[in-house]
Amino acid sequence: MTAALNAVVRKTGARLPQSGSDRVAGALSWLSMLFLLVFLGLPLVAILGKALQDKSGGYVGLSNFAGLFDAHFTYLLGNSVTVSLASTAIVIPLAYGFAAALMRSQMPGKSVFRMLALIPLLAPSLLPGISLVYLFGNQGVLKSWMGEGSIYGPIGIVLGEVFYTFPHALMILLTALSLADARLYEAATSLGAGRVRQFFTVTLPSVRYGLISAAMLVFTLVITDFGVPKIVGGRYDILAVEIYKQVIGQQHFGLGSVYGLFLLLPAVLSWLVDRFVQRKQKALLSARAQPLLPRRHWPSDTLATLFCVLVCGWLIGMLGMSVAAAFIKQWPYNLAPGLAHFDFDNMDGGGWLAWRNSLKLALGTALVGGVLVFMGAYWVEKTRAGVLPRAVTGFLAVLPMAVPGMVLGLGYIFFFNAPGNPLNALYGTMALLVLCTTVHYYSTAHLTAVTALKQLDGEFEHVAASLKVPFWTTLRRVTLPICLPAALEIARYFFVSAMTTVSAVIFLYTPDTVLSSVAVLNMDDAGDTAAAAAMATVVVATSALICLVFGGASWLALRRTQGWRKH
């Protein structure tokens, strides 16, 4: 009924008389579109332009693209693909096992396991690299485990990336496994299928799209990450690090942007596959599906618990190693505890200013990003805004998912540092870092907002419109309070992402806006590995604290505004 009404209103919307409220909403929706065009679309176009220029900015046609055909590039690409495939092949079974244990077993302590599994999200991707040096480096605690091998190279990169990408894969697989129809399992059981047979005939087909999405995401994350390989790559060169060296080290933007454009390929591909997969996934679950309630089964519950304990132990061990290294006076010769490595002001990286800046960036992104994303989603979902801004915003909002941070950062340099650009004044400011980080993480936040808004019946707006209540009143009194948990979740996501991000901002920071995640990288470059571990520890502690605060706030909000959901 409501759907039919919605459809009628949408169709006839254009002919309904426009109220003042509609006009305001229309204008604001154009603003949302303009924001995404200027801060996402144009920088990406600028990279294309730069790829056609030489070092001094002269037009050279496609000659930079010749860089894609020489032996050096093939070598780098081969290495990048190798470590990306290897990481994916390890992470996906690991994350699947963990997700299955959480969703399909009756093991105890599920909420604790679920929380611990998200540890890697709190740290910059450089942290696993640093931990690996202390664990398996030449002076590592567990050096003997490496035998004759060395952690510096592909082994180290893969181990670090597995840590870094684990929670990302896990979240997708958890969602995939939550869509289960108990009736299928009942049918399989009554037909005499054993557990193994059921896995291959029922479970696997139902999660195959989730597996594909997760694998594509992990592959993309690894091939575009340079944090881990920068620290433990040794002499094993990969594409992402080469881009960093070309652009930051040699200021050779042309070749850097050609390589960057190349890295867009796997990301765009995985994005397309993901969109296709999502459409398929929706059709999987019919309205008559019965929720699957896992039954107690001692052997498999014990196995699940053991597996999760192992994985969580490894995650905690990796984090713990960096934290421990931060407090050790002089590894490995003087193991006395001390705080000397936290004396950031006498080291590279920008000192405690970097941490204060990161805090500003994180708070700014949580606030600005939260408002921009929520409003953008609101115009798209709830108002009678124009067709064009709705369509363009809807498309641009999910595009950042396919844009590696590195590429976005390069685009920002080229676009905002162009002398003729009226927005040039933004270049080198904290404001630009906030906007860049907002755009970088826009998609996930946008989808969260859209999901929350979709749960609300469109009739609220229709009734409000017919009572001549302007949209901002409906928004303030109905929509926002109901969506508060989602809004808090978006803000928390922005905060933690801004705190840990390296890839885009590393091209944009200045001495006044140094960031702690970038400082970790610069300290390691200068050889202060212990101090880098200390800074990474500070980042983790800050993110963890904020997660707790947001957790508390959203619990309160749920209690105060969501009581109606229980009835």
Partner 1 sequence: MKNLPRVLAGLIALWGAAAYADTTLTVYTALEADQVKAYQDKFEQENPGIHIKWVRDSTGVITAKLLAEKNNPQADVVMGVAASSLLILDKEGMLSPYAPKGVDKLTKSYVDSKNPPAWAGMDVWGATICFNTVEAAKQGLKKPESWKDLLKPEYKGKIVMPNPASSGTGYFDVSAWLKIFGEKGGWEYMDGLHQNIAQYEHSGSKPCKQAATGEYPIGISFEYRAASLKKGGAPIDLVFPKEGLGWDLEATGIMKGTKNLDAAKKLADWSASHSANELYEKNFAVVAMPGVAKPIEFIPGNYEQMLIKQDLSWSAANRDRILAEWTKRYDSKSEPK
Binding-site ranges for partner 1 (CB under 8 A): 55, 71-72, 75, 133, 137-139, 152, 234-237, 245, 248-251, 253, 330-334, 345-349, 419, 510-512, 525-529
Contacts of 8 (CB under 8 A, 6+ apart): none
Nearer to partner 1, 234 or 485 (CB): 234
Nearer to partner 1, 108 or 527 (CB): 527
Query: Nearest distance from residue 89's CB to partner 1, in Å?
Result: 22
DSSP assigned state of 57: S
Contacts of 246 (CB under 8 A, 6+ apart): 252, 253, 255, 256, 259
Nearer to partner 1, 526 or 556 (CB): 526
Residue given tokens 């696993």 in the structure block: 128
Residue whose C-alpha is closest to residue 124's, from 519, 547, 557, 407: 519
Q: How many H-runs (helices) and E-runs (strands) does the chain carry?
A: 25, 2
State the DSSP string of 289-342: PPPP-PPP-HHHHHHHHHHHHHHHHHHHHHHHHHHHHHHEEETTTEEEE-SGGG
Query: Nearest distance from residue 149's CB to partner 1, in Å?
Result: 12
Query: Nearest distance from residue 158's CB to partner 1, in Å?
Result: 16
Paired with 59 in beta bridges are: 53
Residue whose C-alpha is closest to residue 337's, from 349, 328, 346, 348: 328
Number of other CB atoms surrounding residue 31 within 10 Å: 13
Joined together, the tokens standing for residue 170 give: 């896990």
Nearer to partner 1, 186 or 512 (CB): 512
Query: Nearest distance from residue 72's CB to partner 1, in Å?
Result: 5
Nearer to partner 1, 176 or 321 (CB): 321
3-state secondary structure of 527: coil
Query: Nearest distance from residue 329's CB to partner 1, in Å?
Result: 9
Residue whose C-alpha is closest to residue 65's, from 50, 47, 51: 51
Residue given tokens 């070749």 in the structure block: 255
Nearer to partner 1, 333 or 564 (CB): 333
- Given a contact cutoff of 8 angstroms between Cβ atoms, the answer to whether 289 and 282 are in contact is no
Query: Nearest distance from residue 237's CB to partner 1, in Å?
Result: 6
Query: Nearest distance from residue 197's CB to partner 1, in Å?
Result: 46
HSE of 431 in the Cβ direction (CA atoms, 13 Å)?
A: 7
Given its phi and psi angles, is residue 57 left (phi above 0), alpha (psi -120 to 50 degrees) or beta? left
Query: Nearest distance from residue 504's CB to partner 1, in Å?
Result: 19
3-state secondary structure of 53: strand
Virtual CA dihedral for 348, 433, 410, 50, nearest 10 degrees? -130
Joined together, the tokens standing for residue 537 give: 């520890």
Residue whose C-alpha is closest to residue 229's, from 145, 166, 158: 158
Query: Nearest distance from residue 523's CB to partner 1, in Å?
Result: 9
Query: Nearest distance from residue 507's CB to partner 1, in Å?
Result: 12
Nearer to partner 1, 119 or 535 (CB): 535
Query: Nearest distance from residue 54's CB to partner 1, in Å?
Result: 12
Nearer to partner 1, 294 or 349 (CB): 349
Query: Nearest distance from residue 433's CB to partner 1, in Å?
Result: 17
Nearer to partner 1, 254 or 404 (CB): 254
Nearer to partner 1, 290 or 510 (CB): 510
Nearer to partner 1, 431 or 548 (CB): 431
C-alpha torsion sign, points 539, 540, 543, 548: negative
Nearer to partner 1, 249 or 313 (CB): 249
φ and ψ of 59, to 5 deg? -75, 125
State the DSSP string of 254-293: HHHHHHHHHHHHHHHHHHHHHHHHHHHHHHHS-TTPPPP-
Query: Nearest distance from residue 245's CB to partner 1, in Å?
Result: 8
Nearer to partner 1, 263 or 531 (CB): 531
Nearer to partner 1, 381 or 528 (CB): 528
Joined together, the tokens standing for residue 525 give: 């470059």
Query: Nearest distance from residue 511's CB to partner 1, in Å?
Result: 5
- Given a contact cutoff of 8 angstroms between Cβ atoms, the answer to whether 358 and 515 are in contact is yes
Query: How many angstroms from the chain centroid is the CA of residue 361?
Result: 16
Number of other CB atoms surrounding residue 61 within 10 Å: 10
